[in-house]
Amino acid sequence: MRIAVTIFLTDETITPTRLARELEERGFAGLYLPEHTHIPVERTTPYPAGGELPPEYGRTLDPFVALGQAAAVTGRLGLGTGITLVAQHDPIDLAKQVATLDHLSGGRFTLGVGFGWNVEEAADHGVRWSTRRALVRDRMALMRALWSQAPTAYEGEFGSVRASHAFPKPVREPRGPVVGPRTLVGGAAGPGLFAHIGEYADGWLPIGGRGLGEALPLLRTVWADAGPRPRGPPGRPLRRPPHPRQARPLRRPGHRGSGGAAASGRGGGGAQDPGPPRRVPLTTPLWNRDVGAYY
């Protein structure tokens, strides 16, 4: 089993460089960071998990800057966004950021694509909530044009770009309709989300593992209709971090006690490149007291 970490890195947490080193030493497969540019104080959108919005949402580091630091001090650790709010970005700038990070990390970057939940945050970026999914699709298409090997123009509903020289390119070769870095789309299961995956992504980023069995047949159908891919569709569940008091401490690699199986066999920085993480839900949340990370 390959396990990756998702964590809110903020101005009050462990630094990206230290965390990345610690994760790679312990044989973790990847580090995924969320994104929020700001959280408006006057907010009517409810927190999806219920209750008060945790303060770290308003303190998150820019994921591309933080992952760039992580890339500079590691050689095997996968790096990804969980997720990028694509609608809130200029697509030409975002295409450059993504391609640069993928290039400098040697192809270790995964672009997690999301549509957002905070109406007020999106509105400050000029995003019309009812059309945000169509906007994301359009911006992904524009970015694919810039990532193509030959200069390619794009004219869409929300944006356009002339045929351009745009380097560096993402490391991975095109996979059927997918151009760019490894790309996963986050969100709740359904025909609309799966249509996005079939059009421009390598797989799905569900929140948690509940309901995967019921959803996968539809995803496989959409996947097959979209054309051949080098490998079958992955699905990488993300869990919301538990409270530390509800979690259990990390055991170092090889430990046979509680939680040891999740981290066994990949310690000391000597593991070979584990490749992309397997898409398996975490059934036992763990708290790493040494590096301050949930996984």
More confidently predicted of 212 and 284: 212
Q: Look at residue 230 in the predicted model and tell me its pLDDT.
A: 62
H-type alpha helices, 125-211 = 132-147, 191-200
Decide: 87 and 143 in contact? Cβ < 8 Å: no
Percent with pLDDT over 70 in the chain: 77
> What is the DSSP track for 84-130?
EEGGGS-HHHHHHHHHHHHHHTTS-EEEEEE--S-HHHHHHTT--GG
- CA 91 to chain CA centroid, Å, is 17
Amino acid (one-letter) located at 153: A
Give CA separation, 68 vs 99, 104, 215, in Å: 12, 8, 34
Amino acid (one-letter) located at 1: M
Decide: 29 and 263 in contact? Cβ < 8 Å: no
Q: Look at residue 263 in the predicted model and tell me its pLDDT.
A: 26
Decide: 24 and 274 in contact? Cβ < 8 Å: no
As a whole number of angstroms, the distance between CA 287 and CA 15 comes to: 17
- Cβ-in-10-Å burial (0-12, 13-18, 19+) of 227 comes to exposed
Min mean pLDDT across 10-19, 47-56, 229-238, 275-284 is at 275-284
In the predicted structure, residue 136 carries a pLDDT above the cut 60: yes
pLDDT tens for 238-259 read 554 444 344 344 444 443 333 3
- The pTM assigned to this predicted structure is 0.80
pLDDT tens for 189-210 read 999 999 999 999 999 998 877 7
pLDDT tens for 31-42 read 999 999 999 999
